[in-house]
């Protein structure tokens, strides 16, 4: 008898490699530089260099040098921070294709006059090409960009690693502090004589793939529990033909497995019917935006604003948008208005700034109350939560939130959760919220990813064609001895 493995995963490894290679083939530029002490001219070790508005950065080595690669052509701002030096911003750094932009930065040591509440001071950096401005920035407004390389640099110089300042130390030698994931184990082989039916809930999340990519782009391997196999497969398009008469088509593919004799891989793909943008139902959307202090890290809130502007540009005059924010308290910023008043919607978003604790429960409650007041049958009634998933004031436990979200989902108000940020991020809560909200969970690590979710896949993100979809596979025990489901460990039914 033959042994088969179940589900759409390892067979697609070649597809993943090809697509990744095409993505990495985009022509990019590079920034190289040196950071020195302004007074002594000696290299500054362990300075953090962040490309503002992105997730790219580096740490200076023992010679004070740094390299930031794979940057798309454009004008950037660099932010240089160090525990013993004043923070500096280098503006108008011009990155061009296939060329190296060199930057030299001198840092001034902190004094009594440059403590946390210092004002912005302008200084000028002179170099041969691409002249740029450097600004001294209040450290209290910036969360340091922590990389593991910082620890190595100190150790190479025989220096003790400095104590934590504001929660920036490496926790248990992890690349990023306070990253919360859950390991759901690995599905075992099941003997078909014991159970010949494999049943699981269909999942369209792909946050795990984007999160893993973000780890790798920063030079780190993700923790095991951050990798959910099915979400790697969900991220890519497989050019299945869309059905014309039915809600969906099922596609099956099989191939010999390299992981054991007499083993086969079975891939199950589902293609839903295609809804053209002009045929999408009108949408009543409520943006629930996390504006707590942690959203200042890596300019997360700035990326949220850019992502939502992309979404707004794709909406139609029949759509309505309302805005709720939460920091220490929840607050209604904008009652739902037509997208015809796009200027007012964008202005409300641009006025947001980060600060305070994180009362996620109150923010979601206000968002759902707004969605309930403006509910219209026959339209898309959806909440879009943009957050790092951390809740530290109010009702911080997920159980009560999940219970309420499920109740609203049953009434037709769905929830999409969109995660932002590395460090101080709760993947567990964001996934559970999207699941219970009958929506999905996505993760945004850069603006192109936001464009993929909110522009290229907008109709699929907003409009639901089926709920609570499950797959059941019936194996013939006379042909199949055992099977194992790859991925979906937390979606077994």
What tokens does 19 get? 């697509």
440 Cβ partners below 8 Å, 6+ apart?
A: 204, 205, 416, 417, 434, 461
Question: Among 155-164, 399-408, 478-487, whose mean pLDDT is lowest?
Answer: 155-164
Cut 0.75: pTM above it: no
Q: Give the β-pairing of 441-444 and 413-420.
A: parallel
Q: Report pLDDT digits (tens) over 239-249.
A: 889 898 888 89
What's the pLDDT score for residue 466?
78
For residue 453, the 8-state DSSP code is: I
Report all structural domains of the chain as residue ranges with CATH numbers, in order of start: 277-462 (3.40.50.410)
pLDDT of residue 374: 96
Q: Is the pLDDT of residue 329 over 60?
A: yes
> CB pairs under 8 A, 24+ apart, for 241-245?
241/271, 242/271, 242/272, 242/273, 242/274, 243/271, 243/272, 243/273, 244/273
What is the per-residue pLDDT for 167?
35
pLDDT higher than threshold 50 for residue 439 = yes
Confidence of residue 160 (pLDDT cuts 50, 70, 90): very low
Q: Answer yes or no: is pLDDT of 399 > 80.
A: no
Residue 27 is predicted with a pLDDT of 65
pLDDT at 392: 74
- Tell me the HSE value of 149 on the side-chain side, using a 13 A CA sphere: 20
pLDDT given at position 398: 66
Give pLDDT tens digits for 197-224: 999 888 889 999 999 999 999 889 999 9
Mean pLDDT score, 60-72: 87
Q: Can you give the pLDDT at residue 72?
A: 84
Q: Over the stretch 110-137, which tens digit does the pLDDT of each residue have?
A: 874 444 344 333 333 333 333 333 434 4
Nearest to 361 by CA among 333, 337, 393: 393
Best CA proximity match to 142, nearest among 94, 83, 95: 83
Do residues 79 and 106 touch, judged by C-beta distance below 8 A? Answer: no
Confidence at 492, pLDDT banded by 50, 70, 90? low
More confident residue, 100 or 154: 100
How confident is the model over 290-327, as pLDDT tens digits? 999 999 988 899 999 999 999 999 999 999 999 999 99
Check whether 250 has a pLDDT greater than 70.
yes
Mean pLDDT of the chain: 80
Q: Going by DSSP bridges, is the β-strand pair 413-420/380-387 parallel, antiparallel, or unpaired?
A: parallel
Q: Is the pLDDT of residue 16 over 70?
A: no
pLDDT over 70 at 44, yes or no: yes
Instruction: Please measure the distance between the N-terminal and C-terminal CA atoms of the chain and give it in whole angstroms.
Output: 27
The contacts of residue 344 (CB under 8 Å, 6+ apart) are: 334, 337
pLDDT at 23 (0 to 100): 32
pLDDT band per the 50, 70, 90 thresholds, residue 237: confident
What's the pLDDT score for residue 274?
A: 84
Count of CB atoms situated within 10 Å of the CB of 129? 8
Check residue 213 and give its pLDDT. Answer: 94
């Amino acid at each position: 008898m033959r042994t088969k493995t179940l589900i759409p995963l390892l067979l697609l490894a070649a597809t993943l490699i090809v697509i990744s290679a095409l993505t990495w083939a985009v022509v990019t530029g590079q920034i190289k530089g040196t950071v020195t002490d302004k007074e002594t001219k000696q290299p500054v070790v362990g300075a953090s260099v962040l490309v503002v508005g992105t997730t790219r950065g580096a740490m200076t080595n023992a010679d004070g040098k740094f390299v930031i690669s794979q940057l798309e052509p454009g004008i950037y701002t660099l932010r240089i921070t160090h525990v013993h030096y004043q923070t500096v911003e280098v503006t108008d750094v011009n990155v061009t294709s296939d060329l190296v932009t060199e930057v030299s930065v001198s840092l001034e040591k902190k004094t009594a006059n440059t403590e946390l509440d210092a004002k912005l001071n302008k200084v000028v950096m002179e170099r041969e090409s691409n002249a740029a401005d450097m600004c001294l920035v209040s450290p209290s407004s910036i969360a340091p960009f922590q990389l593991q390389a910082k620890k190595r640099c100190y150790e190479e110089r025989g220096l003790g690693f400095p104590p934590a300042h504001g929660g920036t130390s490496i926790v248990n030698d992890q690349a990023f502090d306070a990253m919360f994931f859950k390991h759901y184990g690995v599905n075992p082989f099941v003997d078909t004589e014991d159970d010949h039916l494999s049943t699981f809930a269909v999942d369209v999340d792909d946050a795990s793939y984007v999160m893993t990519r973000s780890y790798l782009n920063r030079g780190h391997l993700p923790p095991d529990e951050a990798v959910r196999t099915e979400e790697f497969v969900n991220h890519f398009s497989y050019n299945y033909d869309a059905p014309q008469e039915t809600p969906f088509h099922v596609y099956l593919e099989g191939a010999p497995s390299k992981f054991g004799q007499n083993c086969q891989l079975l891939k199950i793909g589902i293609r839903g019917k295609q809804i053209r943008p002009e045929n999408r139902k009108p949408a009543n959307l409520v943006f629930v935006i996390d504006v707590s202090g942690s959203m200042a890290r890596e300019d997360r809130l700035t990326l949220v604003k850019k992502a939502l502007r992309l979404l707004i540009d794709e909406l139609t005059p029949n759509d309505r948008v309302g805005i709720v924010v939460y920091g220490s308290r929840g607050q209604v910023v904008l009652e739902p208005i037509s997208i015809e008043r796009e200027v007012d919607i964008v202005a409300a978003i641009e006025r947001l700034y980060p600060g305070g604790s994180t009362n996620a429960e109150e923010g979601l409650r206000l968002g759902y109350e707004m969605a309930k007041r403006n509910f219209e049958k026959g339209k898309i009634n959806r909440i879009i939560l943009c957050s790092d998933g951390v809740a530290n004031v109010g009702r911080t436990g997920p159980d009560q939130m999940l219970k309420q979200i499920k109740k609203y989902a049953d009434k037709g108000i769905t929830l999409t959760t969109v995660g932002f940020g590395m460090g101080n991020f709760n993947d567990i809560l964001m996934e559970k919220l999207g699941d219970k909200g009958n929506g999905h969970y996505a993760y945004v690590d850069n603006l192109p990813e936001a464009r993929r979710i909110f522009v290229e896949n907008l109709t699929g993100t907003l409009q639901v064609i089926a709920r609570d979809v499950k797959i059941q596979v019936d194996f013939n025990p006379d042909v199949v001895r055992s099977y194992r489901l790859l991925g979906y460990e937390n979606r077994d039914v």
